[in-house]
Homo-oligomer: A and B are copies of this chain.
C-alpha cells in the first residue's frame, strides 16, 4: 500500500508514468483542460492535480488531502464563492452508498470521482509524453502493495486509491504508440457504450431481461451477414467470449451438421473426424479439437506458401489422404488474416475444394474480418460468402472495446438444434412474447455478457464509412512502415512484398551483426535481439510491439496497426526507438 502521505489526490506527482519525468505534463494537461470553459476541465484539473499545481495561489495552508476531499467547484470565478461539497471518503464505506438510505449524495460524489479518475486516464492515454506502461516485475508489484483480501472493509478513500493504483500500472492500450496486440486503441463511443452496458448489468439470456440488447444483437448480426455476402443477411450467429470460442462453436456446429447423433451419443458413435487448417492458423483450432473430444491429432495442418497462405493443392492432397484412411473430413478452417503474417488464405480455391468434398467451410476472420468494411481491401476476403461459418472479431481491426467476437453461421436453426437442451425451467414456453427472441438456448453459455452494444453504438456513430476510413488508414500506415524499412540499413523483412493486412514482420539487425555470415551463430545472436529490445521498450515504457519466432524463423518483430491514434510520426518513432534500444546489441 502506498503510504497515506503519498496522497490519494496527488495523482500527477504520485504517478511516475511520465509526469515525474516530465513535470510539466500535469500542468500542461491543466492548461488544456482549463481552455474548456464549461467547468469540467477545471474541475478535473483541480480535483486531480489539486493544490500541488498552484501552491502559491492557494497559500498552501491546507494539507493536500483535506483540500482534496472537497470536490472543486466547476465555475470559472477564481476564487469563487460557490459552496463546496464536503464528502470525506475516509469516513465513508460501501455501505453508505446506494441502496443505503440517504445514499444518493455519497453515491453521486463517489461515482463522479471515479469518473474523474477515468477521464484523466483517458486523456493521458492519448498523450505521447506519458508512458505506455509503467512496468514493474510481478514480485515488485506484489511486494510494493498489499493486494490481499481481508475480513474488514476499507473506506472509500482507500477504494479510490486502489482505482488510481490499478490504472497507474495498467497498460495504456489507447496510447498512440501501443502496437502490441491485434486489439489496440480506445474508442470513446465504444467506451461510453461499455460503461452503459456495465450500468445496465444484465445478460443476453432472454428478451425478458435484455430486450434492447437482444434486438440490437439481431440487427447487428444480420448486418454483418449482409456484409459477408449471404443473401438478405440470412443465417444465424452469436456474440461469443472471444475468437477461440467462436472457432470452437464453428467446429461444434460443423460436426453436428454432419452427425447430429453426436449430441446424444458422443464421439464414440461417429467415425474419426478430421479438421484442416493452415500451419499459420490460430492455436484455438487445436484447443477446440482437444476440448470437443476430437483430439489435436485430428487437426491436420496444411502447408503455407512463403507469405503464410494455405496452399490449396496441399489441402486437397491431405483431404484425400484422410479419406483413404477411412477418416471423415468434416471441417476446413481457412484463415482471413493470420495472427503473425496477416495472411489471407485463398478462400475461393478453398471453397471449391470444400464444395467438391462436401466439407464445412469455416473462415477464421477474427483479425481480417474488419477489411470487409473497406471497399478498397475487401477483395482479400473474396470467397468468404461461400463459407458455412465465419468468425469475425470487431474488437480487433474495428477497434471495439474488448470483448466483441461474432460467430456467423449461414444456415439458420443449426446453432439452436446443436446446443439447445429444452430446459423449460429456464426457457419457459408459455411467456407472453415472441419466444424466438430468447436466444439463450443456442449458446454454450447460460448467462452471456452483453457484447453487442459497444459495436452497435460505434457503428451508429461512425457509420460503415467510418470503419472503412479506420481500416484504410491503418493499412496505409502499415504500407508506410513497410516502405521505410524494406530498404533501410539494419532491417530484413521476414517475407517479401507489401503487407496484405497491417502485419509487418521484420528483423532489426544491430550493427554488430550486419557483417556476420548467415550461419547458426548469427541466428542465435539474432534470436536474442528482439526480446532485449522489447524488454527495454517496456522498461522505458515508450512503445510496445510484439515479437515471436515462427517455424524456422528466429524471433522477429511483428508490427500490427489497429490503433486509431497512431500516425506516421508514431511509426517513425517506433523505428527510431528500435534503433536507439538495439544499436548496442
Contact = CB atoms under 8 A, between A and B. Distances in A.
Contacts of A547: 428
A377 to B, nearest CB: 16
Work out how many copies of this chain go into the complex.
Answer: 2
25 contacts: A33-B104, A37-B83, A38-B109, A40-B108, A73-B74, A75-B75, A77-B81, A94-B461, A147-B215, A149-B464, A153-B466, A159-B189, A170-B212, A174-B201, A180-B209, A181-B209, A186-B201, A195-B198, A201-B401, A202-B402, A241-B449, A267-B294, A292-B293, A425-B548, A431-B534
A90 interface: no
A223 interface: yes
Contacts of A264: 290, 295-297
A268 B295 contact: yes
Interface stretch (A279-287, A355-363, A518-526): A279-287
Contacts of A272: 266, 268
Contacts of A62: none
B147 A219 contact: yes
Interface string A79-97: 0111111110000011101
Q: Which 4 A-B residue pairs are closest in the complex by CB-CB distance?
A: A293-B293, A38-B85, A266-B295, A99-B565
A370 interface: no
Nearest to A94: B461
Nearest to A209: B171
Contacts of A447: 183, 242-244, 395, 402-403
Interface string A166-190: 1101110110100011010011110
A372 interface: no
A262 B266 CA distance: 13
A66 interface: no
Nearest to A432: B535
A147 to B, nearest CB: 5
A67 to B, nearest CB: 14
Nearest to A108: B40
Contact of A192 (B114, B169, B201, B289): B114
A456 interface: yes
A461 B215 contact: no
Interface stretch (A135-143, A314-322, A380-388): A135-143
Given A291-B291, A460-B154, A550-B425, A283 B215 contact: no
The range of chain A's interface size is: 35 or more
Given A198-B401, A210-B171, A263 B426 contact: no
Nearest to A339: B425
A460 B283 contact: no
Interface stretch (A17-25, A118-126, A476-484, A486-494): A118-126
A99 B570 CA distance: 13
A196 B5 CA distance: 24
Contacts of A191: 111, 198-199, 201
Given A85-B40, A421-B286, A137 B433 contact: yes
Nearest to A196: B163
B449 A153 contact: no
Nearest to A424: B549
Contacts of A516: none
A296 B256 CA distance: 13
A105 to B, nearest CB: 4
Nearest to A134: B211
A275 B421 CA distance: 17
Interface in A510-547: 527-528, 531, 534-535, 538, 547
Contact of A421 (B40, B41, B283): B283
B94 A458 contact: yes
B122 A98 contact: yes
Given A149-B220, A170-B211, 5 more contacts: A41-B105, A94-B458, A94-B461, A150-B460, A241-B445
A152 interface: yes
A499 interface: no
B434 A548 contact: no
A465 to B, nearest CB: 5
Nearest to A43: B74
A148 interface: yes
Contact of A149 (B147, B219, B296): B219
A202 B95 contact: no
A234 interface: no
A518 B226 CA distance: 55
The interface centre, meaning the residue of A39, A243, A565 with most chain B CB atoms within 10 A of its CB, is A39
Contacts of A580: none
A51 interface: no
Interface string A225-269: 000000000000000011111001000100000000011111111
